[in-house]
Structure 1
Amino acid sequence: MNTVYIETSIVSYLRQRPSSQVVMAARQLLTSKWWDTERTNYELVVSQYVLDEASAGNPTLAAERVQALAGIPLLPNAPQITQIANEIMTRAILPPKAQVDALHIATVAHHRIQYLLTWNCKHIANAKILPRIHQVLTDAGVPIPVICTPEELLGDDSEIDG
């Protein structure tokens, strides 16, 4: 069974109040659909970085995010994760404010997780950034994970049912 790392944006979209913005509303629906119909086809994992981010902000929503993550195995930290993330940052692939995003990528790569599931298309699932991320991972000698959104991991039947 393939493994999926649940990045914080996934659980955030899953537990946000319904949005009136078209793109956000679509992402919420796609995330719910993936969570309800596809997640059982994968082994899910998270990191302490996900738990820390999910715990921040509005206390009610934070509690809902943490509850959604309950029971999902926590990947152990390792010095190599920080080394890979630091290399991403040293090469200025991500801005300084995106250090945690580099840690998400590095965690997935270090643990050889097949998929990193995210809605962070600014710093993680970004077609302009990914080739540079892939080069760092290749240089580090770790496999390149598939970095994708729930829409991409839904399979052939991606219609949103009401």
Structure 2
Amino acid sequence: MDSIYVETTVIGNVAGRIHSNPDVASRQRATRSWWNIAAAQYELAISQLVIDECSDGDLAAAYERLDVLRDLTVLAITDEARALAGVLNAEGAVPPSEPRDALHIAVAAVQRVQYLVTWNFKHIANATMRSKIEQACRDAGFEPPVICSPPEIPGDTDD
């Protein structure tokens, strides 16, 4: 079974009320549909960083996000992952101002996760940075995860 590292922005779209903005609501619905299929077909994993980020903010919303995480595999944030995150930031694959984004990628790469799903197109699922991220991971001896949004990982829909 392939594994997927689920970045915090995905959890934010699974939990909570449907947003009044139609674009945001559409993303939430797409994420929730994907989530219902993916949970049965992939090993979904997070790190303590996802737990920490989901714990922030409004207490009721945080509780809903944390409830979504309840049955997911928690991957260790190792010294290797921290070092790789530093490399990603130092080489400009992820801006130095975004160490958490680099750590999400690094945990997935070090733990040999096949996919990293995110709605963060600014620093993670960014087409202009993707080759830098992949090269930095490979140069450090790790195969990078495929970075994509949830709908890019098809589920078995019996089509």
Fold conserved (TM > 0.5)?
Answer: yes
- The unaligned stretches of length 5 or more in structure 2 are none
Aligned residue runs from structure 1 range 24-39, under 5 A: 24-39=24-39
Residue type at the aligned position of 2:52 = D
Matched position secondary structure for 2:72: coil
- Give, as a single letter, the amino acid of the residue that structure 2 aligns with 1:87: V
CA distance 1:97–1:22, shift in 2 (3 Å): farther
- What residue is the counterpart of 1:15 in the other structure? 15
1:120–1:114 CA distance, 2 compared to 1 (3 A): same
Matched, 1:97 2:97: yes
Structure 2: distance between partners of 1:43 and 1:155:
13
For 2:155 and 2:126, the matched residues in 1 are separated by 20
CA RMSD of aligned residues (A): 1.4
Letter in 1 for 2:36: D
Corresponding position of 1:55: 55
User: What corresponds to 1:130 in structure 2?
Assistant: 130
Find out whether 1:88 has 2:88 as its counterpart: yes
Q: Is 1:113 matched with 2:113?
A: yes
Instruction: State the TM-score, normalized to the length of structure 2.
Output: 0.93
Shift of 1:74: 0.9
Structure 1 position 78, deviation (Å): 1.1
TM-score, with length taken from structure 1: 0.91
CA shift digits 1:40-78 (9 cap, x unpaired): 100111100000000101110100000110021111121
For residue 152 of structure 2, give the secondary structure of its aligned residue in structure 1.
Answer: coil
Separation in structure 1 between the aligned mates of residue 27 and residue 10 of structure 2, nearest angstrom: 9
Whole-Å separation in 1 of the counterparts to 2:145 and 2:29:
25
Q: Give the Cα separation in 1 of the matches to 2:30 and 2:127.
A: 20
CA distance in structure 2 between the aligned counterparts of 1:50 and 1:23, rounded to whole angstroms: 24
Q: Deviation of residue 14 (structure 1)?
A: 0.9
Task: Report % sequence identity.
Answer: 40
For 1:92, what is the secondary structure of its paired residue? coil
**Amino acid corresponding to residue 148 of structure 1 in structure 2:** C
Q: Please list the CA deviations of residues 12-50 of structure 1 after superposition, one character each: whole Å capped at 9, or x if unmatched.
A: 011132122232111101110011122210011110000
Aligned to 2:43: 43
